[in-house]
Amino acid sequence: MRRLAGPGPGAMLAGGLFAVSRLSWQWSVVAEVFALNNLFVGLLFFATAGFHRAENATKRQKIAHWGALCCGLGLCNQHTLLLYVLVVIPWVLLRLHSLRELSLRGVVSLGACFLAGFLPYVYLPVSSYLNTARWSWGDQTTLSGLLTHLLREEYGTFSLAKTESSVSLRSMLR
């Protein structure tokens, strides 16, 4: 907040409220995806603020590349980060375009950084094939098994709740 709004009581209040937030502390000590997801969200907020306040094109490009890598890594951890990424990526690209700092080479470079964040997914089929995967959902040696894992079908992605019968996302939201 200090990077976005400058020093002052608002930035101190926002930082202080987050620092004493019960949910942040509660989930930070649980061995689950939420603590790492919070880290990635924090890194992306930090990168977004730094990108917004960057003084020159070199700093903006550097921050954008680190942010793209963090977006990819964060999406490897938990798909809910997609809600943030779907807003930030177009904003960054639009901002770079409006400053005349966006080129095809730059988009390819940012895309490569984003895809580099997905490299942990390369480990899944390799470890499954070598039978060294521990605590993994399903068999990722086939494309079907890998997609089942990536889309979290066994975990219940988009089901919102476990029910006896098959209920669509639309009817569950209704």
pLDDT at 63 over 80: yes
SS (H, E, C) 84-114: HHHHHHHHHHHHHHHCCCCCHHHHHHHHHHH
In sequence order, what are the residues at sequence separation of 6 or more whose Cβ sits closer than 8 angstroms to the Cβ of residue 140? Answer: 124, 125, 127, 128, 133, 146, 149
CA proximity to 70, closest of 94, 50, 54, 56: 50
Stretch 58-78: mean pLDDT, rounded?
92
CA proximity to 88, closest of 57, 55, 114: 114
Q: What is the pLDDT of residues 85-116, one digit of tens each?
A: 999 999 999 999 999 999 999 999 999 999 99
Cα 102 to Cα 57: distance, rounded to the nearest angstrom: 10
Least confident stretch, 26-30, 80-84, 137-141, 142-146: 137-141
Cα 53 to Cα 71: distance, rounded to the nearest angstrom: 19
CB 60 within 8 A of CB 51: yes
